[in-house]
Amino acid sequence: MGGLGISFSFGCSSGLSKGFGSRLASLTEAVSEASSWIEAGASSGQSGFGWYDLPEQDTSGIEDAARWLSGYEAIIHAGIGGSALGNLMLHQALLPMYFNERPGVPKFYLADNPDPEKTAAILEMARGRKTALIGVSKSGATAETMSQFLWFRSKLEGIADGDILVITDPSGGVFRAYANAGGCRSLEIPPSVGGRFSVLSACGLVTAGALGADIRAVLEGASEMKNFLRGRKSPEDNPALKLAAVSYLHSIDGRPMTVLMPYSSRLETFAEWFAQLWGESVGKDGVGSTPVRALGAIDQHSQVQLYTEGPDDKLYTIIGLDSRGAEVELPEVTDESLSSLSYLSGRKLGEMLGYEAASTASALVKAGRPVVWIELGRLDPRTLGGLIFFYEYTTAAAGRLLRINPFDQPGVEQGKRYTYGMMGREAYKADAEEANELFKKVKSGALKI
């Protein structure tokens, strides 16, 4: 195989902090323990650790469903958070960048927000196309997803149970009951896999496969990364543990943000997927760092001013690419009026983008900011799978170092109860009263223009 072709550099991950190296060294034991904790949790099948075993899952059911879906003219995917972001991430990274305009391939519409205007627009776009409907919710109870699913089911012309797929827990929840009762297709998210760790389950893989991505190669790459990391307990030979430790130290050291800035439009949503994975996993009990997603070169014209000259309160990870799937060679500049652009003649965009990534990293280091550099030899299904697994492992380890449970999300329950209460559900009456009191305060003293 010759490896995944991903390299990790932490040469400037400490910025100019004095004593960073010895503080990192003092974490050696905790880091090793985090690694053992992950491996033990996975091998004993504990709740939350199921992502660790997804690379080796049996994909026959997923591939069947992908083949079936690929026969439609459009796919509407109702899901939110972990049941949506991973799909976008896989599609953007693995399919031709005009994938939603390719003849012979289903159009893909993501119903990821219960916004009536977006929801109605999706129905409009699917009109006249033979459409499959997918509903994804691990719990089978997510109000936003359920609402959109119910509405599309009632509105899509000629839709039958045979055009519907639900992806959910194998035994519990409304979606499972519906599949059991009605005979629609269904696939499983294993009980031990949390929503934000589910991209390598049916949740993420089915639609990617239907649209033409090589999902077996994605899993191979994830498996290769897993095998590399397994048993390596020191930050010095396990880059995921090192990134976890470096992130941990910066987060308790006055740098409450972690920026992920890939230099490829194909990885734009990867940064967003990471933001969910990281934010919801480590942000609890008053700790955790805030993920900030960026995109090179675009954010050089948006956020880099702040990054280099604003407060020194972020850790930066830049992802560079060595080669790209397409190249754009600039023409000879012959117009006299454009002569000052002659330095661009015959140059390649990919080359320029590479220089820009290196320049941003260098400018950040010059400004004393900590930088981690990840370089992909190429971006293909295997490297993407490896990168996904790498970040899942890093996130779990970082949670362990922070002494929190990276696999739960207790903090989203309060808002859910308030919403249920406002929607009039009987059991949540007290929540509604509390929410109304608080919301009155929020809106107090409004100034209207």
Q: Annotated active-site positions, please? A: 280, 301, 416
Stretch that binds its own copies, among 20-28, 33-41, 198-206, 224-232 (CB under 8 A): 224-232
User: Among residues 277, 276, 270, 278, which one has the least CA distance to residue 294?
Assistant: 270
Q: Quick one: which of 222, 260, 361, 388 contacts its own copies (CB under 8 A)?
A: 361
Closer residue to its own copies in complex, CB, 61/256: 256
Under a CB-based contact definition with an 8 Å cutoff, are residues 97 and 60 in contact? no
Q: Quick one: which of 76, 112, 185, 194 contacts its own copies (CB under 8 A)?
A: 112
Q: Would you count residue 108 as binding its own copies (CB under 8 A)? A: no
Q: Quick one: which of 98, 104, 158, 403 contacts its own copies (CB under 8 A)?
A: 98
């899901």: which residue's tokens?
A: 79
Q: Would you count residue 51 as binding its own copies (CB under 8 A)? A: no
DSSP 3-state assignment of 193? coil
Buried b (16+ CB within 10 A) or exposed e, 274-303: bbbbbbbbbbbeebbbbbbbbbbbebbeeb
Q: Would you count residue 101 as binding its own copies (CB under 8 A)? A: yes
Question: Which pair of structure tokens corresponds to residue 303?
Answer: 């956020």
CA geometry: angle 19, 22, 28, nearest 5 deg: 145
Q: Quick one: which of 26, 36, 47, 113 contacts its own copies (CB under 8 A)?
A: 113
């010895």: which residue's tokens?
A: 22
| DSSP letter, residue 136 | E
Instruction: Please report, as a single letter, which amino acid is at residue 148.
Output: Q
Q: Would you count residue 1 as binding its own copies (CB under 8 A)? A: no
Q: Would you count residue 18 as binding its own copies (CB under 8 A)? A: no
Q: Quick one: which of 317, 360, 394, 395 contacts its own copies (CB under 8 A)?
A: 360
Q: Quick one: which of 17, 70, 147, 405 contacts its own copies (CB under 8 A)?
A: 147
**Cα 277 from Cα 395, distance rounded (Å):** 7
Q: Would you count residue 217 as binding its own copies (CB under 8 A)? A: no
Stretch that binds its own copies, among 63-71, 209-217, 343-351, 392-400 (CB under 8 A): 343-351
Q: How far is the CB of 286 from its own copies (least distance, A)?
A: 6
Binders in 251-270 for its own copies, by CB under 8 A: 256-257, 263-266
Q: How far is the CB of 37 from its own copies (least distance, A)?
A: 21
Q: Would you count residue 25 as binding its own copies (CB under 8 A)? A: no
List Cβ neighbours of 120 (8 Å cut-off, separation of 6 or more): none
Strands 314-321 and 6-12, sheet pairing: unpaired
Q: How far is the CB of 400 from its own copies (least distance, A)?
A: 17
DSSP 3-state assignment of 153? helix
User: Among residues 241, 222, 223, 219, which one has the least CA distance to residue 232?
Assistant: 241
Q: Would you count residue 27 as binding its own copies (CB under 8 A)? A: no
Q: Quick one: which of 50, 86, 204, 283 contacts its own copies (CB under 8 A)?
A: 283
**Cα 20 from Cα 239, distance rounded (Å):** 17
Q: How far is the CB of 414 from its own copies (least distance, A)?
A: 4
How far is the CA of 291 from the CAs of 42, 157, 304, 367, 438, in angstroms? 26, 41, 16, 21, 28
Q: How many residues bind its own copies (CB under 8 A)?
A: 157
| H/E element, 373 | strand 371-376
Q: Would you count residue 158 as binding its own copies (CB under 8 A)? A: no
Q: Quick one: which of 21, 305, 430, 433 contacts its own copies (CB under 8 A)?
A: 305
Q: How far is the CB of 449 from its own copies (least distance, A)?
A: 5
Q: Would you count residue 195 as binding its own copies (CB under 8 A)? A: yes
